[in-house]
């Protein structure tokens, strides 16, 4: 009779307790399931309405906007947050009108000035929906929390990016890697308006953001940047040389540095230089690229094969020569590349691997 | 004998209650951490930023030993991941089945010469292959040297800033790497990040991705699902805010490559090489004066099969226990030493008491109870005491399953929850005592110095519908 109860009674109570817990688990889970399904359905409806508001203006759009303003604010806020950074032009203007109609402006400002960094991060994603010239639009670029800064940069409108290019290039050296990535993405959206600021940055900086800046330059072929890029192609840092080589691709026929980079100590740099030369169509380097088919690194051999495949008849002839080379790896790569060319002769240009020119993420 | 039975009952009760009490602290910590992470992630749209090829390069390391059944599916799944800057390094550890042949045929591999920077001492590499289909795939064929050796070869060949170690049969969620890479961007001291692994013996698959998780009908698998959920949601997550996380599952973990090379990679001869590595990384950080951070992402990031036969499960659990004892023995100098921060003061003592010693005491208590019952000396109060202990454990398991369902919407049908309700009881009343026996077996092998792995049977994805 220890514990004041006999075992059968304890067992019965134990089973009752287990039953209660199991029942709660099953029932609460099922209730949550149906709530989740209802919310998902509502979200789908609102997402559909938002698409109508943004892309089908007129009477239908007005009706959809009214339905949206009557729907749950939390879902609307979330949907707007997800769309805000990707819109431009008329759709962006309509989204602003919706924000104003739903009275979300105050809510955004409250989040921007919140003490909680999580709320500020949410506010940062929506700051671009505030009216142009509003002081809070860019306030979070200087936030003390790295993740908030990264969201603020990531969500900037293209017009803000063009006007604040120097401020964004400075963020390429931010201590938080997330901010550096976001700044790079933002610059890619800025178009040619950011070139002077980018050139100044590349000319004067050797910080951690240089690689990101070079990648932006690779995606934004502009002759004003060539001298700065060449400066980094001679850097001691292999990663910088590699991205600089890629960025020099479009100017391959004008730059002699790329030919030197074909003999670089680092595999990645040699590979990037070979691909860049192919992008620029510099046929006079075909023989040197051919030699890279004998390189010890597979990455370089593959890049050389892809480069030769893109260099037209001269490249194809070089590949045929190496298809009978004494070096078995060179022979293998040349034959593989020739097989690819023969299988799809029209896709010679697309045989360049992704990343041959910049990051492939054109604005 | 009646007195011995009563004492044994109190011992079992005490052990179960001490474990439960220690875990309640972890439950609270896990709850706080779960709320924090979900609020953080809700407002972070990382996918945009991490779509850039300049996002940190990740090399996925796949050790493969006799994985012919699953290797093609697993590698295809990895190459289909949405992370943009990716490399997959598969290392065939001298398999005796068709693992390498299937890889060569499946991905049109050709030899490119065994040239790589050998940064760690490993068994010799026979050949390195590259795929003409996908330049991101590297396959290495080497002489058999064990899992740690295989991972060290992969670590040498890998070119990523981050490396993701997985088992050959692990299926990784499409956006798992995007989620896992966030802590590395957030804090430069982060050296390792683990994620929740789900058991998916019964699930609906489409294009290599799980679309619906179902509760397993097999009681042994179901009991393991309960155990895994508790272990990942509470055990791993709860240690996060306390700074004492010392386990990242070998089935899926993301590491900073330079940090791994600094501690000379995986340890040869350790049965629990995944836990050993984390403890060594943490120890190295403390000794260097710059404590490192080991993070955990509660979102389900990878899926794997649970053993369906008692024999395979027994081998697995015995190996895990030997691994735990091995790590605690190797790094005993850390225990209760303030120099090693929360790892030395909290988590290592916890693992010694709750994970290593308590099961042994519990099994001895249960043995005495059974003997007492057989000899007629079993006190009626004994049932009450032992039952109360198990009742607490069962109820906490229900709570964990409910929290998991609320947070991640794990199961979508009442039928699944009803099945899981039964599995909770099976787990406590059948799997738990069996695990105790396997741990005692593991203890015996550990004391004999045995370090072999045993064989894992795979079914492959096709039959897991």
Q: Tell me, what CATH number does A277's domain have?
A: 1.25.10.10
pLDDT at position A193 = 87
Tally A–B CB contacts below 8 A.
Answer: 145
Q: Is the pLDDT of residue A349 over 60?
A: no
pLDDT at position B132 = 79
Could you tell me what percent of chain B has a pLDDT over 70? 89
Best residue in A181, A269, A303 for a mutation probing chain B (most B CBs within 10 Å):
A181
Domain boundaries along the sequence of chain B: 21-56+161-343
What is the rounded distance in angstroms from the CA atom of residue B70 to the CA atom of residue B200?
A: 14
pLDDT at position B47 = 56
pLDDT at position B256 = 94
Average pLDDT rounded to a whole number, residues A226-248: 89
The interface pTM score, or ipTM, of the predicted complex is: 0.79
CA distance A176 to chain B (A): 7
User: Given an 8 Å threshold on Cβ–Cβ distance, is A178 in contact with B186?
Assistant: yes
pLDDT at position A327 = 87
Question: Which of 164-183 (A) contact B at CB < 8 A?
Answer: 176-178, 181-182
Could you tell me what percent of chain A has a pLDDT over 90? 24
Measured between alpha carbons, how far is residue B159 from residues B85, B91, B143, B260, B360 in Å?
A: 11, 14, 22, 13, 44
Mean pLDDT of chain A: 84
Q: Is the pLDDT of residue B283 over 70?
A: yes
Measured between alpha carbons, how far is residue B173 from residues A131, B254, B302, B304 in Å?
A: 40, 14, 5, 11
Number of domains in chain A: 1
pLDDT at position A197 = 92
Q: How confident is the model at residue A190 (pLDDT cuts 50, 70, 90)?
A: confident
Average pLDDT rounded to a whole number, residues A144-169: 86
Residue A148 falls within a domain, yes or no? Answer: no
Q: How confident is the model at residue B90 (pLDDT cuts 50, 70, 90)?
A: very high
Lowest pLDDT segment from A106-120, B32-46, B149-163: B32-46
Question: Which of 205-234 (A) contact B at CB < 8 A?
Answer: 211-212, 215
Q: What is the pLDDT of residues B205-225, one digit of tens each?
A: 776 677 788 899 999 999 999
Q: What is the pLDDT of residues B426-437, one digit of tens each?
A: 999 899 889 988
Q: Is the pLDDT of residue B459 over 60?
A: no
Best residue in A22, A84, A265 for a mutation probing chain B (most B CBs within 10 Å):
A22
Residue A154 falls within a domain, yes or no? Answer: no
Q: For residue B388, what is the nearest residue in chain A, using CA coordinates?
A: A14
Q: What is the pLDDT of residues B243-253, one digit of tens each?
A: 788 888 888 99
Q: Is the pLDDT of residue B326 over 80?
A: yes
Which residues of chain B make contact with A338, given a CB cutoff of 8 A?
Answer: none
User: Given an 8 Å threshold on Cβ–Cβ distance, is A32 in contact with B405?
Assistant: yes
Lowest pLDDT segment from A67-81, A86-100, B140-154, B437-451: A86-100
Q: What is the pLDDT of residues B379-422, one digit of tens each?
A: 666 777 777 778 888 998 998 899 888 888 888 888 999 999 99
Q: Is the pLDDT of residue B48 over 70?
A: no
Of B327, B195, B458, give the one whose Cα is nearest residue B319: B327
Residue A248 falls within a domain, yes or no? Answer: yes
Q: For residue A150, what is the nearest residue in chain B, using CA coordinates?
A: B49
Residue A111 falls within a domain, yes or no? Answer: no
* Burial annotation B404-421 (CB, 10 A radius, 16+ → b, else e): bbebbebbbeeebbbbbb
Which residues of chain B make contact with A212, given a CB cutoff of 8 A?
Answer: 54
Could you tell me if B184 and A181 are in contact, meaning their C-beta atoms sit under 8 angstroms apart? Answer: no
What is the rounded distance in angstroms from the CA atom of residue B314 to the CA atom of residue B224?
A: 12
Which residues of chain B make contact with A329, given a CB cutoff of 8 A?
Answer: 112-113
Residue bearing the bigger pLDDT, B7 or A223: A223
Residue A312 falls within a domain, yes or no? Answer: yes
Architecture of domain B21-56+161-343: Alpha-Beta Complex (3.90)
Q: What is the pLDDT of residues A53-74, one digit of tens each?
A: 888 878 888 899 889 888 888 8
Which residues of chain B make contact with A18, given a CB cutoff of 8 A?
Answer: 391, 394-395, 425
Q: For residue A145, what is the nearest residue in chain B, using CA coordinates?
A: B186
Considering only the beta carbons, identify the residue of B130, B381, B391 that sits closest to A3: B381
CA distance B29 to chain A (A): 20
pLDDT at position B220 = 93
User: Given an 8 Å threshold on Cβ–Cβ distance, is B49 in contact with A211?
Assistant: no
Q: Can you give the pTM of this predicted structure?
A: 0.77
Domain that holds residue A230: 221-363
């Amino acid at each position: 009779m220890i514990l004041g109860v006999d075992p059968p009674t304890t067992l019965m109570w134990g089973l009752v307790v287990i039953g209660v817990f199991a029942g709660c688990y099953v029932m609460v889970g099922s209730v949550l399931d149906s709530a989740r399904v209802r919310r998902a359905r509502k979200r789908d409806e609102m997402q559909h309405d938002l698409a109508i508001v943004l892309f089908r203006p007129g009477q239908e759009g007005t009706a959809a906007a009214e339905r949206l303003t009557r729907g749950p604010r939390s879902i609307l806020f979330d949907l707007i947050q997800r769309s805000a950074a990707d819109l431009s032009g008329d759709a962006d203007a309509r989204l602003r009108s919706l924000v104003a109609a739903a009275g979300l402006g105050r809510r955004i400002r409250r989040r921007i000035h919140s003490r909680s960094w999580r709320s500020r991060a949410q506010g940062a994603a929506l700051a671009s929906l505030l009216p142009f010239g509003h002081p809070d639009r860019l306030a979070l670029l200087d936030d003390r929390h790295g993740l908030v800064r990264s969201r603020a940069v990531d969500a900037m409108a293209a017009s803000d990016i063009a006007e604040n290019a120097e401020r964004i290039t400075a963020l390429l050296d931010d201590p938080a890697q997330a901010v550096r990535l976001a700044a790079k993405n933002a610059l890619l959206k800025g178009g040619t308006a950011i070139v002077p600021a980018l050139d100044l940055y590349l000319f004067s900086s050797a910080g951690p953001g240089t690689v990101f800046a070079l990648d932006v330059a690779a995606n934004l072929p502009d002759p004003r940047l060539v001298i700065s890029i060449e400066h980094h192609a001679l850097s001691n840092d292999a990663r910088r040389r590699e991205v600089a080589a890629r960025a020099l691709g479009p100017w391959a026929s004008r730059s002699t540095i790329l030919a030197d980079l074909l003999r670089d100590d680092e595999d990645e740099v040699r590979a990037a230089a070979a691909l860049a030369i192919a992008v620029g169509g510099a046929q006079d380097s075909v023989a040197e690229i051919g030699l890279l088919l004998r390189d010890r690194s597979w990455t370089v051999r593959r890049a050389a094969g892809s480069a030769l495949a893109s260099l037209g008849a001269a490249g194809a002839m070089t590949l045929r020569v190496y298809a009978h080379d004494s070096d078995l790896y060179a022979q293998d790569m040349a034959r593989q590349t020739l097989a690819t060319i023969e299988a799809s002769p029209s896709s010679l240009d697309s045989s360049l691997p992704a990343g041959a020119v910049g990051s492939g993420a054109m604005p | 004998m009646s007195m011995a039975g009563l004492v044994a009952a109190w011992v079992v009760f005490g052990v179960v209650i001490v474990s439960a009490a220690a875990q309640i602290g972890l439950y609270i910590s896990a709850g706080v951490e779960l709320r924090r992470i979900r609020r953080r992630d809700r407002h972070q749209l990382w996918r945009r930023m991490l779509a850039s090829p300049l996002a940190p390069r990740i090399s996925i390391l796949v050790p493969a030993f006799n994985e012919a059944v699953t290797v093609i599916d697993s590698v295809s799944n990895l190459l289909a991941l949405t992370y943009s800057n990716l490399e997959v390094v598969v290392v065939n550890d001298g398999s005796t089945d068709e693992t390498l042949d299937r890889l060569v045929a499946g991905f049109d591999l050709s030899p490119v010469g065994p040239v790589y920077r050998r940064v760690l001492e490993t068994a010799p590499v026979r050949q390195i292959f590259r795929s003409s289909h996908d330049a991101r795939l590297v396959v290495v064929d080497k002489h058999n040297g064990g899992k740690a050796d295989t991972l060290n070869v992969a670590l040498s060949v890998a070119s990523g800033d981050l490396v993701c170690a997985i088992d050959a049969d692990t299926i990784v969620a499409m956006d798992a790497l995007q989620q896992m890479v966030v802590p590395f961007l957030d804090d430069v001291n982060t050296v390792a990040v683990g994620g929740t692994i789900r058991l998916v013996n019964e699930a609906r698959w489409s294009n290599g991705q799980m679309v619906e998780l179902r509760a397993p009908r097999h009681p042994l698998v179901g009991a393991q699902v309960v155990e895994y959920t508790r272990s990942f949601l509470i055990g791993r997550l709860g240690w996060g805010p306390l700074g004492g996380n010392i386990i990242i599952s070998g089935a899926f973990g993301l590491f900073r490559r330079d940090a791994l090379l600094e501690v000379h990679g995986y340890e040869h001869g350790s049965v629990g090489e995944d836990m050993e590595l984390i403890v060594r990384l943490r120890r190295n950080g403390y000794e260097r004066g710059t404590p490192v951070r080991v993070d955990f992402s509660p979102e389900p990031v990878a899926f794997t099969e649970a053993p369906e036969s008692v024999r395979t499960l027994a081998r697995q659990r015995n190996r895990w226990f030997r691994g735990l004892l091995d790590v605690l023995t190797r790094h005993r100098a850390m225990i209760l030493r303030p120099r090693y921060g929360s790892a030395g003061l909290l988590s290592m003592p916890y693992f010694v008491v709750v994970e290593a010693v308590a099961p042994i005491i519990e099994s001895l208590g249960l043995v005495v109870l059974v003997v007492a019952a057989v000899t007629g000396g079993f006190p009626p109060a004994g049932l009450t005491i032992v039952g109360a202990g198990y009742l607490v454990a069962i109820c906490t398991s229900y709570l964990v399953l409910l929290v998991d369902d609320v947070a991640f919407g794990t199961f979508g049908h009442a039928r699944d929850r009803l099945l899981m309700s039964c599995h909770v009881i099976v787990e406590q009343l059948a799997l738990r005592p069996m695990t105790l026996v396997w741990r005692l077996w593991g203890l015996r092998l550990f004391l004999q110095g045995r370090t072999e792995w045993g064989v894992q049977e795979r079914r492959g994805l096709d039959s897991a519908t």
